[in-house]
Amino acid sequence: MSEIPAQVAETVVKKNGRPSKRTPELTEEICARLATGEPMSHIAKDAHVPDLVTVYRWLRENDEFRQLYETARADGAHTYASQIAEIIDKEPNKTYDEAGNMKYDPASIAFNRLRMDGRKWLAAKYLPKVYGERQILSGDADNPININNTADAYMASVIKKLEDDRRKE
């Protein structure tokens, strides 16, 4: 993670309230934990971390904190993708039937599929341009639709040709 700018974490004193708990160290910890894929709801349960409402207020009120938070979320999406690869590479639990034949435990396979699907969904939400499944069917800021009036030009040429053919008759 990069160095946290001092103005992001400086203590803010409001007219009618106590100083903010936001410090450079706390900002760094929150972002580092988000980057490893830990949910903010888990981070906020620690005694020294403010509750979710406070963190969400910081996101609304502080652009630099929001940028660091969003970068950490994007890093978390990459972490989820790495975790999916680890889950895929891990062999499911084995069971043995009465005859001693080994087979894979269906519950273990289903559990790992659920783990992968959850991580895949989160990665797609946190970083849709990299992990999303969206296909662009219409234009957006990065891929605008170019409308060429070729139909109008074509129709004009057809009408002109018909008029020319009629004049020749």
Q: Which domains does the chain have, with CATH numbers?
A: 6-134 (1.10.10.60)
CB half-sphere exposure, 29, CA atoms < 13 A: 14
| 62-66, 146-150, 165-169: least confidently modelled range | 146-150
d(CA 66, CA 127): 15
Tell me, rounded to whole angstroms, the distance of Cα 136 from its chain centroid: 17
Check residue 12 and give its pLDDT: 47
CA angle 41, 90, 43 (to 5 degrees): 10
pLDDT tens digits, one per residue of 65-78: 999 999 999 999 99
Instruction: Taking residues 127-141, report their average pLDDT.
Output: 76
Q: How confident is the model at residue 166 (pLDDT cuts 50, 70, 90)?
A: confident
| 13 confidence band (pLDDT: 50, 70, 90) | very low
Q: How far is CA 13 from CA 4, 19, 34, 65, 86, in A?
A: 20, 5, 26, 17, 45
Average pLDDT over residues 27-39: 97
Tokens in use for 143?
A: 């891929």
Percent pLDDT > 90 in the chain is: 63
- Collapsing DSSP states into helix, strand and coil, what is residue 137? coil
Helices 24-35 and 63-89: crossing angle, nearest 10°? 30
